[in-house]
Structure 1
Amino acid sequence: MSAVMTTPGHEAADDVLLTASADGQAQLLTPGALEFLAGLHRRFEPLRQRRLAERLERQRGFDAGRLPDFRDDTRAIRDGDWKVAPLPDALRNRRVEITGPVDPKMVINALNSGANCFMADFEDSTSPTWANLVLGQRVLRKAVAGTLDWMAPDGARHYTLRPFEEQAVLLVRPRGWHLEEKHVLVDGQPMSASLFDLGVFAFHNAAALAAKDRGPYFYLPKLECMEEAALWNDVFDDVEQALGLPAGQMKATVLIETLPAAFEMDEILHALRGRIVGLNCGRWDYIFSYIKTLRAHPDRVLPERGQVTMDQSFLRAYSELLIQTCHRRGAHAMGGMAAQIPISGDAAANDAALAKVRADKLREVRAGHDGTWVAHPALIPLARTVFDERMPTSHQQHVTRDDVCVGQADLLRAPIGTVTRAGFDNNVEVCVRYLAAWLDGNGCVPIHWLMEDAATAEIARTQLWQWLHHERIAKAAGNPQAGPLHLDDGEPIDFALLERALIGLPGRLADRMKLPGASRINEAIGMLDRLCGAEVLEDFLTVPAYRRLD
């Protein structure tokens, strides 16, 4: 553990220890910034730990047979006649948003892309190495100041920002409440990754963004209940007071990407009602959470990922309930991410991929969503065309969806489907390749013309675990006659099948040594083998993997 980092001529904040070093760190983590972060940690770490303990207790109930449901103690909130605060002008039209990691090329391209908004992502698409986090914060600071540029390594192209008025509106997604930042110790404890990401960004950029009437704006990930939303609201209140911002200046959009949160959408909006501007259908994490939350329920097994589309009834119910809830409360209902990316060199395959994106965006705008996400700049014109043709106004909160009537059973109904050999092998490949890249510092990886991030890799990982442990779980749930699940060709899904897939994977990877994270593929194979074999499903792949990051 290294000494406390300081800037020349300054004293470090008391009892704050940085355990790593990266370029530009001293200019970012100044004594004032460290003091600000330490204050956040001391005020909110006990509450964060309480919320995390409540998550564990809630999951123990689900593992014991209970099912998620709407809360009796918050019925008055759901039945009440209230609205969220008025939306800021910069976030009234969000018809196309692009998301991606916080490296300089991505940030410049996204801000210049023609999208309405850009979500700079410290969470699912950024591998949280210390170097990546420090670089990302420096990049965003320069972007806010208008000074960001980047030269391609070969010198062939110089990337610069368009004028401010032509840029996408910036939103920042910090990491979730469950994650720690091990490189920043306050009073000997690792700091919350959420508070670190938001705190550093706000400390350096909040005043400049407020002066431009651009926020600061945030996306909040992986909340499970209104109490976790209320904790965020307290953090925002504290940051505004500390930085001299007007109350309610900082705005938030919450991703509804956990199954428990789907039952508390009204409550989450209410907890953040002075600053929330919308909810987002974080579909990939939501599917992952469905599997994780209902892991001890053998009747809730999902088919392979390719069959779990938004047309499935449990996902359609979740999407329509989100639209109805948001529009009733005066908030935006944002659609989710289509994972497809353009396919070069194969016109027919590219046309088929674009047709899937078009159909997905058409479904969203017809359902009443106020905007959507894309993962690649080339998809922005397609998504914009679909929304422009059917949403001539800046949003469609007037679409109230009074026809929607969603109950507990609708949100929990498992889809019918199969597991093919190709689907099983693809899950193995996606997990291994993504994890290898993540361990090597890359958190956003194109695999088979889909943009894979932590959320999509988590679906693959938890599906493997769910399929492999089904017989044991079914017997524990009271079915002594239960047997293993089978592929659609009749072969049992067991650990021998997993072993063959893992052993054979390196030989199936064309140009293996050219892949992102190639040097860590064997390490990733070992990690996936252990995670799949564990009797208790690991809550997040990124928690044990983070221990291996610098």
Structure 2
Amino acid sequence: MSAPAQRAAVAAGAPYVERQEEVLTDAALAFVAELHRRFTPRRDELLARRAERRAEIARSGRLDFLPETAPLREDPLWHVAPAPAALEDRRVEITGPADDRKMTVNALNSGARVWLADFEDASSPTWENVVRGQLNMADAFRRRIDFTAPGGRTYALRPAEELATVVMRPRGWHLDERHLTVDGRPVPGALTDFGLYFFHNAQRLLDLGKGPYFYLPKTESHLEARLWNEVFVFAQDHLGIPHGTVRATVLIETITAAFEMEEILYELRDHASGLNAGRWDYLFSLIKNFRDGGERFVLPDRNAVTMTAPFMRAYTELLVRTCHKRGAHAIGGMAAFIPSRRDPEVNEVALGKVRADKDREAADGFDGSWVAHPDLVPVARACFDAVLGDRPHQKHRLREDVRVTADQLIAVDSLEAKPTAAGLRNAVQVGLRYIEAWLRGMGAVAIFNLMEDAATAEISRSQLWQWVNAGVVLDDGEKVTAALVREVAAEELAAARTETGAWQQAHDLLLKVALDEDYAEFLTLPGYDLLG
């Protein structure tokens, strides 16, 4: 008697999205189901391990490099695979959600070398956004994404050689896709996004002279990188794609991953292309992991924590040294400023800060960096051109002068800035405004001339939680309490209600994740239940 056939993934309870049948083919859903059955159990184990590690940090109040992997770190001989031609020069990368058709065309046309096509923090994970993002990617690779917007303006792709190389970012391991199930259980969002994208586009990208390239978010350990590597090996083998075709850049945006950079590159060495230094998620992770550490780990206003802070420089310089030691690209952080066409004075000050930031990254040895807006591409490019010249990168700069200790990576108490009343209000304002937009399906949101994504809301609500629980006293002498946060939130809600939106829902979610005694690991977990 033959074995029963394995059932494919099922789109369950999802609203119909126009053209979704092009994405949710029987073969694609069967592939996603196979990914789910093979890898979700290990994903679950690793999420449980995150909780165990967090508990250990709470007990010890510290982190250190792993003693069991010291021989790997000390071995000078291993390197990651050489970068493919399409990822050799990454001096400017632009980020943005893949679910917006206009942004897709503009990002590809921006003049940046790479477009981070985002299914994660810059995309609210509504079912419509998930499907539209996949459709936009396939349409772009087939050059079928030209369109005319209401009002008559047309958007069309430039010649292929002028387009940015796409590096797609799936969701992190923690978030499920409730609308896609296998045997009655939701498929992890990471496997949903990766599986559908890889199935439909891997061979097409090879035919275009590129490949399926990925940014991996929210990684917390080398074991999670190992799981991704196993996914890549299986996917390539299953679909007949040559081994090593996949390339992955890992965002070092958690404090635990900062202690395992070499191990992460090693696990992905056949598929690794670099590491990225992400600012807001990194600070969010630091607060989350050391939230029981008292005053020693209290961060000041988020905008006061620059990349020149000692513990942030330790992190970025270690990243550059690690990448170049192993032959990988080191990619710098985000320039989130949104240029204003109405206020040249604001632009002048902000662009000066962007230039200083990108000059610093290029001088430190980074091979490229992120921007959030097409107008910033030439600004960042000029900074890296000045250092790189005609070279595609500066991996020859091994930064052997860099020596970073475990204590330096967590030396938050070296900061002179302190929390302020203005900073508390800004955290409420930005958190409220971002969450409201996210609940309406917008993941990339311009707030106070900055392009914000989910990491923004995470750092904002985490700082509120930390300041309340640490009993922080602000610069005006007032102690931060739950009552004070509620008072400020009520004022901001009243002000925001002059605009149409899901303000009450956003207010309630912000206060829940900022003030609940049990800290929510990610605000998108309770937030996901509120999405349509």
Amino acid at match of 1:539: E
Match of 1:538 among 512, 520, 530: 520
Aligned residue for 2:45?
A: 50
Correspondence list, 1:96-111, <5 A: 96-102=92-98, 103-111=100-108
For the pair 1:496 / 2:496, whether they are aligned, the reply is no
Aligned residue for 1:322?
A: 319
* Root mean square deviation, CA, Å: 1.3
- Cα gap change, 1:329/1:14 in structure 2, threshold over 3 Å: closer, same or farther? closer
Measure, in 2, the Cα distance between the counterparts of 1:524 and 1:486. 26
Correspondence list, 1:76-225, <5 A: 76-81=71-76, 82-102=78-98, 103-154=100-151, 156-225=152-221
Aligned residue for 1:448?
A: 448
Once the 2 structures are TM-superposed, how far is the Cα of residue 348 of structure 1 from its aligned partner?
Answer: 1.0
Aligned residue for 2:65?
A: 70
Q: Secondary structure at the match of 2:338?
A: coil
Measure, in 2, the Cα distance between the counterparts of 1:48 and 1:201. 20
For the pair 1:340 / 2:337, whether they are aligned, the reply is yes
Once the 2 structures are TM-superposed, how far is the Cα of residue 13 of structure 1 from its aligned partner?
Answer: 4.7
Aligned residue for 1:525?
A: 507
Amino acid at match of 1:406: V
Measure, in 1, the Cα distance between the counterparts of 2:358 and 2:281. 19
Measure, in 1, the Cα distance between the counterparts of 2:134 and 2:11. 19
The answer to whether the 8 A contact 2:124-2:438 is kept is yes
Measure, in 2, the Cα distance between the counterparts of 1:405 and 1:14. 50
Correspondence list, 1:85-484, <5 A: 85-102=81-98, 103-154=100-151, 156-298=152-294, 299-392=296-389, 393-414=391-412, 415-470=415-470, 484=471
Amino acid at match of 1:396: Q
Measure, in 2, the Cα distance between the counterparts of 1:215 and 1:251. 8
Measure, in 2, the Cα distance between the counterparts of 1:134 and 1:454. 20
Aligned residue for 2:12?
A: 18
Once the 2 structures are TM-superposed, how far is the Cα of residue 94 of structure 1 from its aligned partner?
Answer: 0.2
Amino acid at match of 1:394: P
- Cα gap change, 1:196/1:14 in structure 2, threshold over 3 Å: closer, same or farther? closer
Moved more, 527-536 or 230-239: 527-536
Q: Secondary structure at the match of 1:219?
A: strand
Measure, in 2, the Cα distance between the counterparts of 1:22 and 1:49. 30
The answer to whether the 8 A contact 1:305-1:423 is kept is yes
- Cα gap change, 1:164/1:512 in structure 2, threshold over 3 Å: closer, same or farther? farther
What do the CA deviations read for 1:214-245 (whole angstroms, capped 9, x no partner)? 11101000101111000000000011011110
Amino acid at match of 2:529: R
Once the 2 structures are TM-superposed, how far is the Cα of residue 210 of structure 1 from its aligned partner?
Answer: 1.3
What TM-score does the superposition give when structure 1 sets the normalisation length? 0.93
Measure, in 1, the Cα distance between the counterparts of 2:529 and 2:243. 38
Q: Secondary structure at the match of 2:311?
A: helix
Measure, in 2, the Cα distance between the counterparts of 1:512 and 1:174. 35
Moved more, 415-424 or 438-447: 415-424
Amino acid at match of 1:489: D
Measure, in 2, the Cα distance between the counterparts of 1:448 and 1:488. 23
Measure, in 1, the Cα distance between the counterparts of 2:95 and 2:8. 37
Aligned residue for 1:485?
A: 472
Once the 2 structures are TM-superposed, how far is the Cα of residue 349 of structure 1 from its aligned partner?
Answer: 1.1
Q: Secondary structure at the match of 2:166?
A: strand
Once the 2 structures are TM-superposed, how far is the Cα of residue 336 of structure 1 from its aligned partner?
Answer: 0.7
Once the 2 structures are TM-superposed, how far is the Cα of residue 347 of structure 1 from its aligned partner?
Answer: 1.2
Measure, in 1, the Cα distance between the counterparts of 2:184 and 2:394. 49
Measure, in 2, the Cα distance between the counterparts of 1:262 and 1:512. 43
What do the CA deviations read for 1:122-161 (whole angstroms, capped 9, x no partner)? 000000100111011001000111111222122x211111
The answer to whether the 8 A contact 2:175-2:190 is kept is yes
- Cα gap change, 1:167/1:17 in structure 2, threshold over 3 Å: closer, same or farther? closer
Measure, in 2, the Cα distance between the counterparts of 1:230 and 1:134. 28
Measure, in 2, the Cα distance between the counterparts of 1:149 and 1:15. 31
Once the 2 structures are TM-superposed, how far is the Cα of residue 14 of structure 1 from its aligned partner?
Answer: 4.4
Q: Secondary structure at the match of 1:503?
A: helix
The answer to whether the 8 A contact 2:92-2:368 is kept is yes
Measure, in 1, the Cα distance between the counterparts of 2:25 and 2:130. 15
Amino acid at match of 1:401: R
Once the 2 structures are TM-superposed, how far is the Cα of residue 15 of structure 1 from its aligned partner?
Answer: 6.2
Amino acid at match of 1:327: H
Q: Secondary structure at the match of 1:363?
A: helix
Q: Secondary structure at the match of 1:337?
A: strand
Once the 2 structures are TM-superposed, how far is the Cα of residue 532 of structure 1 from its aligned partner?
Answer: 2.0
The answer to whether the 8 A contact 1:339-1:375 is kept is yes
The answer to whether the 8 A contact 2:61-2:293 is kept is no
Measure, in 2, the Cα distance between the counterparts of 1:273 and 1:529. 42
- Cα gap change, 1:15/1:386 in structure 2, threshold over 3 Å: closer, same or farther? closer
Amino acid at match of 2:339: P
Unaligned runs of 5+ in 1: 1-10, 471-483
Once the 2 structures are TM-superposed, how far is the Cα of residue 12 of structure 1 from its aligned partner?
Answer: 11
The answer to whether the 8 A contact 1:84-1:273 is kept is yes
Amino acid at match of 1:506: L
The answer to whether the 8 A contact 1:94-1:116 is kept is yes
The answer to whether the 8 A contact 2:7-2:183 is kept is no
Unaligned runs of 5+ in 2: none
Aligned residue for 1:480?
A: none
Amino acid at match of 1:526: D
Once the 2 structures are TM-superposed, how far is the Cα of residue 56 of structure 1 from its aligned partner?
Answer: 0.8
Instruction: Report % sequence identity.
Output: 49
What TM-score does the superposition give when structure 2 sets the normalisation length? 0.96
Q: Secondary structure at the match of 2:60?
A: coil
Aligned residue for 2:495?
A: 508
